[in-house]
Amino acid sequence: MPTMRDVARLADVSIATVSFVINDTKPVAPATRARVEEAMQQLGYRRNALGRALASKRTRIIALLYPALQRRLSETAVKFFTSATQTAKDLGYNLVLWPISNDAGQIEELISSGFIDGVLLMEVQLDDARVERLQRSTLPFALIGRTRHPEELPYVDVDFENSMIEAVSYLEGLGHSRLCFVDSGGAEHALSGYGPVVRSRATFAAEVERRGLESVHLSCEESPMSGQNAAEKLLETAPDTTAVILMNDNASFGFLNGLNRRGIDVPGDMSVLLIGSTPDGAAATDPRLTVLTLPSTELGRMGVETLVDQLEEPGGPMRQAVVICCFEEGQSTGPVQR
């Protein structure tokens, strides 16, 4: 691997000048620049990122932190990751998925290693020890999601409250007055205070109350089988329900299947509205689901922008933003019968 020194020697300039050319950080005479570029070309020179990082005190690497990497990465998560990666690249950074377990030591180690410039924290809990740890450090960070009290934190989150209100309002507009909310929370989500689930539940409860609607709520794990079981449970416990809000990507196929087995027609007998999924997720069933899609691409982009803001202007104002889900009509919702 040729170094800057090799290039400088071949082009007959100082290494400083080579650096100026590469970084375009000081004016260089056209002829000199040409010589340097020629030399780099000839040697196949590529700047060593380690040397650069040590000297400039910036690695230009951003770590995406997933808590103990979940069972699987949903399409939403992958789209988010892809978008974040691209945005980082556009802004001159590399984004990498850095796996660390949630226990005390590891995050400290990552922070103090000097390998990364900043952290994008995923799956933020309402009360999140990792956030406190990051706040105590000097490492810039941004949250995807937000804690219970995010006033002083840079974050991007989905506006589950308003998305839920939109969902309830849409169904009420179709004449439905007996709703069910099926969330994606196994026991662990409820206990750990995972924002999207907690906020959605609370908003659902408040909204049906406010509007004087009847409602039930079911928790359902992320699998077709659980979805099927949830459907059966619904038909047992609240057979009068006419509309369901489903916040569970992997349960949708099983849920519709469960209804279908009992002879329940969608949307004839029951409207089903998917929330927080993707267009592909909505297309995973027959009939295609009406959906409020999670803006994962936007979320990825904004997350990185929020972090890079912190990186480039450390003391500066921090962005805080929520983005709303996007309504997309399918064939699974319709006016109430009877």
Partner DNA sequence: CTGAAAGCGCTTACAG
**Contact footprint for DNA (CB under 7 A):** 1, 3-5, 12-17, 19-20, 22-23, 25-29, 31-33, 45-48, 50-52, 54-57, 114
The partner in contact with residue 25, picked from a second copy, DNA, none with C-beta cut-offs of 5 to 8 angstroms by kind, is DNA
Sole window of 41-49, 262-270, 293-301, 319-327 interacting with a second copy (rule: CB under 8 A): 41-49
Tokens of 259: 């209804």
104: contact with a second copy by CB under 8 A: no
The partner in contact with residue 143, picked from DNA, a second copy, none with C-beta cut-offs of 5 to 8 angstroms by kind, is none
Q: Would you call 156 exposed, middle or buried from its count of C-beta atoms within 10 A (0-12, 13-18, 19+)?
A: buried
Coil/strand/helix, residue 47: coil
The partner in contact with residue 27, picked from DNA, a second copy, none with C-beta cut-offs of 5 to 8 angstroms by kind, is DNA
Cα–Cα distance measured from residue 9 to residue 35, given in angstroms and rounded to the nearest whole number? 11
**Using an 8 Å Cβ cutoff, are 243 and 269 in contact?**
no
Of 117, 263, 239, 131, whose CA–CA distance to 178 is shortest?
239
| DSSP at 177 | -
285: contact with a second copy by CB under 8 A: yes
Tokens of 104: 């005390």
The partner in contact with residue 20, picked from a second copy, DNA, none with C-beta cut-offs of 5 to 8 angstroms by kind, is DNA
- What is the total residue count of the chain? 338
Cα–Cα distance measured from residue 138 to residue 141, given in angstroms and rounded to the nearest whole number? 9
**Quick one: 6 or 232, whose CB is closer to DNA?**
6
Binding stretches for a second copy (CB under 8 A):
1, 46, 48-51, 53-54, 59, 61, 63, 69-75, 77-78, 81-82, 85, 94-99, 108-109, 112-115, 223-225, 253-254, 257, 280, 284-286
